[in-house]
């Protein structure tokens, strides 16, 4: 369906094929798309803003703002279409939005100024309010077309402005009385001052007149002397110019006579030179004619022989060139064959190297993947064991068969050695108390240790071949 908006409206299209929104005056609306219309006509909002100055003095600021979407900025239209267009411009929502922005900015600005500053700088205060409100409305795509801030009004119970007006009226009345008195005083003083100034000016004018008269006479004499001097200088300059012109004319006449005589001499010499040149040309032509005649007679045979020798030499040179070209062609073909063989060998080596490189790369990738898998496996085990590294080590050794391998290696180490193992205990009765005193028990312990020494010496002798010291006793043959 084809939709067209009126002069003060825009179409907002959303849906299939549109990332965000589409704003247009006219457009096709396809299935799967939604189209709505919003009006951009500005609306008047009237408020009475309650504010308070820096001295905590309340006042009322009546204001009328004409606000609407900013039609000359595409970004502002998008903001308005997405945030505000779904609400009626004269609805309570829009009224509260605009009122909240204006009241907030007005109160913040008024709280930073005294009442005297607000009253005396009303124009600047209104301008500041307008600018700060516009900054806040920009985020909604709204534009203040006109703002009319009326005169500040007192809050009931706080008649600051009325008292200020009365103060101003009283000050104006008192100032008027002072101005009348000052005007009378200035009138009387002015009259006396004008009379004195008149006399002073008359005397001054007379003196200046005499001075100017004397100056005029002196200037007239100076001008007369100056004119006479200039006339004399001009006459001298004219006489000098005439003398210079005469001298220049005489020099030019002498030069012209000289040039005429030189031209005549040059003409005569030129005729003689031309005759000599023509005679020389005649002699040269005679000599050339004689030379050509002799050349034709004596060099014709030599020329024929020379041409014959040249042809023979050219043939021999041609034959040698062809032979050399044949040899060169053969060498070039051999070089090309060698080059092709070398390139084939190089390509084969390159393929082998590429294959080895690919195998190494795959082997490295496998090692990396294995290491990553093992790292994941160990991290999982460590997390399951509560980050107990000792338990993780024991589990890995058990799971890897480390203890079985150690036992197997130890068994293989002693296999075939047939070791002798001796087991002994204390003498009979040692450690069995009969309820005697402590001294008897201690002697039994000493006796038990002494009885354990003979079996210990025998075992050491059997396994190592070492005998105990003689002072400790001898081992009897069993």
Q: HEC string of 177-208? A: HHHHHHHHHHHHHHHHHHHHHHHHHHHHHHHH
Nearest to 153 by CA among 58, 66, 65, 64: 58
- Could you give phi then psi for residue 138, rounded to 5 degrees? -60, -35
The residue ranking higher by pLDDT, 254 or 453, is 254
Instruction: Please state, as a whole number, how many other Cβ atoms lie within 10 Å of the Cβ of residue 430.
Output: 15
Mean pLDDT across the stretch 312-318? 85
**429 pLDDT tier (thresholds 50, 70, 90):** very low
* In the predicted structure, residue 431 carries a pLDDT above the cut 50: no
Average pLDDT over residues 333-352: 86
What confidence score (pLDDT) does residue 243 get? 85
What is the pLDDT confidence band of residue 276, given thresholds at 50, 70 and 90? confident
Range of weakest confidence among 15-29, 248-262, 403-417: 403-417
- What's the rounded mean pLDDT across residues 172-194? 78
Please name the helix (run of DSSP H) or strand (run of DSSP E) that holds residue 37, with its range, or none: strand 33-39
Six-digit token string for 301: 């045979």
pLDDT at 62: 80
**Phi then psi dihedrals of residue 104, to 5 deg:** -65, -50
Mean pLDDT over 165-177 rounds to 71
Tell me what the pLDDT averaged over the chain comes to: 79
Is 3:23 a contact under the CB 8 Å cutoff?
no
Is the pLDDT at 435 greater than 50? The verdict is no
pLDDT in tens, 60-106: 778 788 888 888 888 888 888 888 877 777 778 888 888 888 888 87
Residue 155 contacts residue 60 (beta carbons within 8 Å): yes
Distance CA 70, CA 133 (A): 15
Q: Decide if 9 contacts 22 (C-beta within 8 A).
A: no
Which residues on adjacent β-strands are paired with residue 142? Answer: 69
pLDDT tens readout for residues 358-378: 888 888 888 888 888 888 888
Reported confidence tier of residue 425, pLDDT bands at 50, 70, 90: low
Q: pLDDT grade, residue 478 (50/70/90)? A: low
Q: What is the mean pLDDT of residues 449-476?
A: 73
- CA gap 215, 329 in Å, rounded: 117
Burial class (CB in 10 A: 0-12, 13-18, 19+), 130: middle
Comparing 31-45, 372-386, 416-430, the range with the smallest average pLDDT is 416-430
The pLDDT assigned to 374 comes to 83
pLDDT at 264 over 80: yes
Closest C-alpha among 147, 129, 149, 152 to residue 44: 147
* Res 418 pLDDT > 80: no
Q: How far apart are CA 118 and CA 112, in angstroms?
A: 10
The whole-model pTM stands at 0.34
Whether residue 342 is predicted with pLDDT greater than 80 in this model: the reply is: yes
Of 109, 110, 97, 107, whose CA–CA distance to 137 is shortest?
97
**pLDDT tens-digit map of 31-43:** 888 888 888 888 8
Q: Which of 206-215, 377-386, 451-460 has the lowest mean pLDDT?
A: 451-460
pLDDT tops 70 at residue 312: yes
Contact (CB, 8 A) for 53 and 111: yes
d(CA 99, CA 104): 8
Closest CA to 155 of 56, 45, 54: 56
């Amino acid at each position: 369906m084809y939709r067209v908006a009126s002069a003060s409206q825009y179409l907002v299209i959303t849906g299939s094929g549109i990332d965000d929104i589409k704003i247009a005056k006219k457009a096709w609306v396809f299935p799967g798309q939604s189209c709505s219309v919003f009006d951009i006509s500005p609306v008047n909002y009237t408020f009475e803003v309650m504010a308070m100055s820096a001295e905590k003095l309340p006042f009322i600021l009546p204001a009328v703002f004409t606000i609407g979407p900013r039609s000359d900025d595409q970004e502002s239209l998008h903001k308005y279409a997405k945030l505000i267009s779904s609400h009626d411009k004269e609805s309570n929502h829009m009224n509260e939005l605009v009122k909240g922005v204006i009241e907030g900015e007005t109160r913040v600005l008024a709280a930073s100024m005294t009442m005297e500053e607000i009253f005396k700088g009303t124009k600047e205060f209104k301008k500041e309010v307008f600018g700060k409100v516009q900054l806040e409305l920009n985020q909604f795509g709204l534009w203040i077309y006109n703002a009319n801030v009326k005169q500040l009004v007192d809050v009931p119970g706080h008649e600051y402005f009325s008292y200020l007006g009365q103060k101003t009226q009283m000050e104006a009345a008192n100032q008027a009385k002072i101005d009348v008195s000052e005007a009378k005083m200035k009138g009387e003083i002015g009259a006396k001052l004008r009379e004195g100034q008149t006399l002073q000016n008359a005397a001054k004018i007379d003196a200046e007149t005499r001075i100017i008269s004397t100056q005029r006479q002196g200037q007239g004499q100076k001008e007369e002397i100056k004119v006479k001097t200039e006339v004399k200088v001009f006459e001298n300059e004219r006489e000098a110019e005439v003398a210079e012109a005469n001298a220049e004319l005489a020099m030019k006449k002498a030069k012209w006579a000289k040039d005429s005589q030189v031209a005549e001499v040059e003409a005569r010499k030129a005729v003689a030179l031309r005759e000599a040149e023509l005679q020389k040309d005649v002699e040269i032509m005679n000599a050339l004619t004689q030379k050509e005649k002799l050349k034709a007679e004596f060099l014709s045979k030599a020329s024929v022989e020379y041409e014959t020798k040249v042809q023979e030499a050219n043939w021999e040179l041609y034959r040698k060139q062809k032979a050399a070209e044949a040899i060169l062609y053969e060498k070039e073909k051999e070089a090309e064959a060698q080059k092709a063989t070398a390139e084939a060998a190089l390509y084969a080596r390159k393929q082998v190297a590429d294959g080895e490189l690919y195998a190494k790369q795959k082997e490295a990738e496998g090692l990396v993947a294995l290491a990553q898998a093992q790292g994941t496996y160990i991290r999982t085990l460590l997390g399951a064991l509560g980050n107990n590294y000792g338990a993780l080590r024991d589990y890995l050794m058990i799971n890897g068969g480390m203890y079985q391998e150690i036992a197997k290696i130890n068994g293989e180490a002693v296999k075939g050695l047939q070791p002798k193992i001796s087991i002994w205990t204390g003498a009979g009765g040692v450690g069995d108390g009969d309820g005697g005193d402590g001294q008897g028990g201690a002697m039994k312990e000493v006796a038990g240790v002494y009885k354990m020494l003979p079996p210990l010496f025998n075992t050491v002798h059997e396994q190592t071949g070492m005998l105990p010291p003689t002072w400790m006793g001898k081992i009897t043959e069993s």
